[in-house]
Amino acid sequence: MQKKFALAAGAMLLISSVQASEWGYEGQSGPEHWGDIAPECSLGKNQSPIDITRSVEADLSPLTVNYTGNLVSLTNNGHTLEAHVEGDNSFTINGNTFTLKQFHFHTPSENLIHGKQFPLEAHFVHADSKNNLAVIALMFDVGEANPQIASLISTLPAKGDTITFDQSFPVSAWLPRIGEDYYRFSGSLTTPPCSEGVRWFVLQNNKDLSQAQVDVLHKAMGDNNRPIQPLNARLVLDAD
């Protein structure tokens, strides 16, 4: 059965009016045509992703992350590899708690930092009690092989399939040290319907993966990155 999703940076769990089969990353269904099926993709003023070329230093609270659950399964939904989690996984900012719904990947990265595009970006998608969305974005650069990714890609699902892991993997192992090392800005979903009002937290500390791991993930997902969008009047806040 075909499901409808509101996709935050590639995938989301909230119901949307946009069919996943109506959009893609190339040709007549590519990003330049998303506005035909979801007007905010072309009319919105606070769209994601962006190139973080300038920022304003701000006295922002540290991100208090409390991931104690596990990654239990992985779905290839045709647009991304989406990891499903269970247990208590949340983060708190300014007294507001956001619960992790899933995380997924983009090859290459959607957001850029000072013009640099990374080979892989992970989006940890959260929602609070009022269904406000927040995304923690983590960049990966080529270096040493990543043990979490090694476990993830040992068996990859085919398009439309889900695999369940015999062994659970701690979600906390995926993130680097965060604290105040992040950029914050207001943005949108990076896929149709491109809804705005999403809180974005782009981490300044990266993790490594090997080129071979990049190649495996890229083969599974292809180029699934939306082009960068105009910053317009937004400020990017630097908590560092």
CA distance 199 to 136: 9
Alpha helix (H) residue ranges in the chain: 40-43, 147-152, 211-221
| Cβ atoms of residues 104 and 85 within 8 Å | no
In the set 79, 104, 106, 123, the catalytic residue is 79
CA distance 210 to 112: 20
Report residue 122 as tokens. 């992970």
Peptide bond into 49 cis (omega under 30): yes
Active site residue 79: yes
Q: Count CB-CB contacts under 10 A for residue 237.
A: 16
- Could you list the active site residues? 79
